[in-house]
Amino acid sequence: MTIAVDIARSTPRSVEVVGIPVPSEGPVPRALGLNRAALATHGFEGKLGQTLVLPAANGATTVAIGVGKPADLTAASLRTAGAALARACAKRGSVATSLADVDAVDTRSAVQAVVEGMILASYRYVDLKADKSTASRLERVTLTVAPAKAAAAAAGAERGLAIGGAATLARDLANTPPKHLTARLFAEQAVEIAHAAGLEVEVYDEHGAAELRLGGLLGVNAGSTEPPRMVKLVYSPRTPNGHVALVGKGVMYDSGGISLKPSDPMHALMKMDMTGAATVLATMSVLKALKVKTKVTGYLMCTDNMPSGSAMKLGDVLTIRNGTTVEIHNTDAEGRLVLADGLSLAAEEKPDAIVDIATLTGACLTALGQKIAGLLGNRQPWIDQVKAAAERADEPVWQLPLAKEYRKLLDSNVADLRNIGGPYGGTITASLFLNEFVGDVPWAHLDIAGPMNVDADEGWLTRGATGFGARLLIELVSGFRPIAG
């Protein structure tokens, strides 16, 4: 799906749909041709995300778009309104709107938000369907702004297209069935994307992983007939203002291994257990286009977790890249094992900061639900940067404590650690496990087990994989500031 965006002074005559923003209070735009009382008879109040389609006998269809109270207008609400408009005209090829021509939000941010909302709401994964009628037909969007705002609007549109495209790439990867996207195929796509995006790329197969001593990755992969892959991506701008490492969990399909998952709807979603790696790849894919000034290194830790005669067993001990030994008490706690190798590799390069992102714990889904990701880390200034980026991206996170008093729950009788910490506080103990592999580098962990998927369209989210984290990470590395101390 590709949407072209034009910036113009006025609405083109050939456009099929005209979107008119309507607040929930105050005057109604004259161009709509209806007053507030008439709108009310149609059940339209101007609430954020409401739409009312008004067909015309001749010319363009008009769509009223609710933007809520003028005093509450933000980039996030413009993103939601843009998404609502895109859904309302999904069966038309072109739309024009003044939605981004506002005073409450700077023009660049307003346009970026509207473009992102329209791209993300238009997304549908129909690659494997014979009937593709559910796909959006929207191909061209014209955003009308005052002439003085045109340059800023063009910059916002360019950024919105890049970031929206990255998020849809992450969704495509996460929605793809495991048979169609093995670790090998994922690595091949990563190489293609890296070459197109001006990135350095290295791919390590099972033999390369053994040479790198990636005991966590190889241990998780032991039960699979599909070999693992570790992909390293590097974006190196001139005179970088810092260096950030991103580590993504890429468990292409998680059966639970010997600790087999129950056959329930969540098991069917385990093709999305590679969403962390998908978001890192998607992030890396647009850094050059966005002229990001931070050096970024990405590690994609990719494997299946399958049960078989060769699979790792409870009681086995694995040796992670940094030499730490780990006793296995649950083979379904595998994501932290592959991340441990990736974090060890990242920490060795002494970046200014590290973020890992993973669909890691059901405990986080239980605690925070499907809309909010868990955030933990070892340095508050770095955590604060992640929180600020999440707010700009409208991808909500909630900080949980890295409670050191729970560390003893990871003690093992035969190894340095065990890979689970008991029945309670699973998100915290998993994060404490990861903390063992980052050394003294500022580090943040994003647990996206909850928001990796949604069951129905809502706002800029569409049913299925959300690509949560891609836009957050892009905002984070775009605005990175080195951490003092």
Neighbours of 313 (CB within 10 A): 13
Percent of the chain topping pLDDT 90 = 94
Confidence class of residue 131 from pLDDT cuts 50, 70 and 90?
A: confident
Pairing of strands 17-23, 61-68: parallel
> Which residues in 29-98 belong to E strands, given as ranges?
51-54, 61-68, 94-97
> How far apart (Å, rounded) are the C-alpha atoms in residues 261 and 238?
47
Average pLDDT, the chain: 96
DSSP 112: H
Phi then psi for residue 26, to 5 deg, are 95, -175
Q: What is the pLDDT of residue 57?
A: 78
Q: What is the pLDDT of residue 1?
A: 63
DSSP 273: T
Q: What is the pLDDT of residues 301-360, one digit of tens each?
A: 999 999 999 999 999 999 999 999 999 999 999 999 999 999 999 999 999 999 999 999
User: Please, what are the domains in the chain?
Assistant: 4-144 (3.40.220.10), 170-478 (3.40.630.10)
Q: What is the pLDDT of residue 81?
A: 98
Phi then psi for residue 7, to 5 deg, are -110, 130
> How far apart (Å, rounded) are the C-alpha atoms in residues 462 and 89?
15
Percent of the chain topping pLDDT 70 = 100
Q: What order do you get walking across the sheet with 317-319 strand by strand?
A: 317-319, 325-327, 417-418
Q: Select from 138, 120, 222, 230 the least CA-distant residue to 184.
A: 230
Which residues are paired to 231 by β-bridges? 203, 300
> How far apart (Å, rounded) are the C-alpha atoms in residues 277 and 279?
5
Pairing of strands 229-235, 243-254: unpaired
Burial 430-453 (b: 16+ CB within 10 A, else e): bbbbbbbbbbebbbbbbbbbbbbb
Residue carrying the six token digits 């008439």? 38
Residue carrying the six token digits 């998952």? 261
Q: What is the pLDDT of residues 370-427, one digit of tens each?
A: 999 999 999 999 999 999 999 999 999 999 999 999 999 999 999 999 999 999 999 9
Asked whether residue 300 carries a pLDDT value surpassing 80, the answer given is yes
Both tokens of residue 400? 């949980």
What is the enclosing helix (H) or strand (E) of 327? strand 325-327
Neighbours of 198 (CB within 10 A): 13
Residue carrying the six token digits 């001006």? 198
Amino acid at 218: L
Answer yes or no: are the C-beta atoms of 114 and 107 closer than 8 Å. Answer: no
Which is higher by pLDDT, 445 or 130?
445
Q: What is the pLDDT of residues 205-264, one digit of tens each?
A: 999 999 999 999 999 999 999 999 999 999 999 999 999 999 999 999 999 999 999 888
**Residues near 27 by beta carbon (within 8 Å), at least 6 away in sequence:** none
Answer yes or no: are the C-beta atoms of 247 and 354 closer than 8 Å. Answer: yes
Q: Taking the chain, what is the end-to-end CA distance rounded to the nearest angstrom?
A: 45
Asked whether residue 485 carries a pLDDT value surpassing 70, the answer given is no
> Which residue pairs, CB below 8 angstroms and at least 24 apart, start in 314-320?
314/258, 314/259, 316/219, 317/414, 317/415, 318/215, 318/216, 318/218, 318/219, 319/213, 319/215, 320/214, 320/215, 320/216, 320/344, 320/437
> How far apart (Å, rounded) are the C-alpha atoms in residues 351 and 180?
34
Reported pTM: 0.97
Would you say how long the chain is, in residues? Answer: 485
| CA 91 to chain CA centroid, nearest Å | 27
What average pLDDT score do residues 115-139 get? 93
Confidence class of residue 84 from pLDDT cuts 50, 70 and 90?
A: very high
Answer yes or no: are the C-beta atoms of 437 and 340 closer than 8 Å. Answer: yes
At residue 407's C-alpha, the angle toward residues 402 and 412, to 5°, is 150
Q: What is the pLDDT of residue 267?
A: 80
> How far apart (Å, rounded) are the C-alpha atoms in residues 382 and 190?
28
Instruction: Just list the catalytic residues.
Output: 261, 336
